[in-house]
Amino acid sequence: MVLHKVLGLLITLGLSSPLVAQDKPLTLLESGLQVQGWEAVGRIDIGRNGHCTGALISDKLVLTAAHCLFDKDSGARASDQDLTFRAGFRNGRAAAEGRVLRSVVHPRYNPAAGTQIDNVSHDLALLELIHPIRSMGVTPFAIYSEPRSGDTVGVVSYARGRLQAPSLQERCEVLQRDPTGVLMMSCSVDFGASGAPVFGMSQGRPHIVSVVSAKGTGHIGGVMRPISLGVSLGPRLDTLRAALDAGDRRFIQAPNPSANQTTSEPRAMSAGGGARFLRP
């Protein structure tokens, strides 16, 4: 969930990429004109104090990160009744809202395994809403093939200090694609951005290519810059859709955290020069 305590850890990564200097800064989408076209991105409220970001991929399905549904300390699964998706939320109002009927996570996601690379690669969840959202202007996003290293992407997210309106980073870069499918990106994310959609563009329209899972900082081209990790979609998302259709309890039930694992410290990544990441 979002409001995890910041551990104050300096995270370093040795990368060099001349294109990252062209990353665009965050733009706060405060006005109706600015948010137009992004209304299907929304804030997920988790109980009274938790927040994540999600996006509609159909009128009843919200795509987000699996770790958003688990308490950081106890590993307990959030009740679906405590989840509310607020599409296009800004300045206290949403374009549309939906309560959650049920949620599914990938069976290979372990809430106690932190940001281990294999766990990040399965950090994906779907929320099924009780009622479809069919409000004018709230158009679900299509899912497209995953980007490659060097591709330009963008992120729309809610986060600490900007929970009242979404922010757009229109241009950042995929720095690396791990063999497991995890994307390492130059995109700037913060606590609350977990589950945020990562966008590519096709024929002038945004489509989702990944979901934000973790964040850190690293040396890129000699400058300390934000680093983020994204989850690949493809077959993983297909599996979750099928699980919902079949009512598969392996997915709907929460995995049991292992007794010998803890989430109190960030996990070391197996790639990327020994970088370590935190949940945003």
| Domains identified in the chain, total number | 1
Distance CA 112, CA 40 (A): 30
pLDDT(87) > 70: yes
Domain-embedded: residue 3: no
Domain-embedded: residue 245: yes
pLDDT(225) > 50: yes
Domain-embedded: residue 124: yes
**pTM, entire model:** 0.83
Distance CA 105, CA 181 (A): 17
Domain-embedded: residue 58: yes
Arithmetic mean of pLDDT, 204-215: 94
2 in Cβ contact with 160 (< 8 Å): yes
Gyration radius (Cα) of the chain, Å: 17
pLDDT value of position 165: 96
Domain-embedded: residue 270: no
- Please name which of 201, 190, 198, 202 lies closest in space to residue 174, comparing C-alpha atoms: 198
Domain-embedded: residue 112: yes
Domain-embedded: residue 9: no
Range of the domain at 211: 14-252
For 31, residues 6+ apart whose C-beta sits below 8 A from its C-beta are: none
Specify the CATH number for the domain of residue 25. Answer: 2.40.10.120
Distance CA 253, CA 103 (A): 9
For 81, residues 6+ apart whose C-beta sits below 8 A from its C-beta are: 99, 100
Q: Place 124 in a pLDDT band, splitting at 50, 70 and 90.
A: very high
Range name among 17-31, 76-90, 216-230 with the lowest pLDDT average = 17-31
- Please name which of 137, 123, 104 lies closest in space to residue 38, comparing C-alpha atoms: 137
pLDDT(18) > 60: no
Arithmetic mean of pLDDT, 46-64: 95
Higher pLDDT, 264 or 78: 78
Q: Place 249 in a pLDDT band, splitting at 50, 70 and 90.
A: low
Domain-embedded: residue 274: no
Distance CA 170, CA 261 (A): 37
DSSP state of 270: S
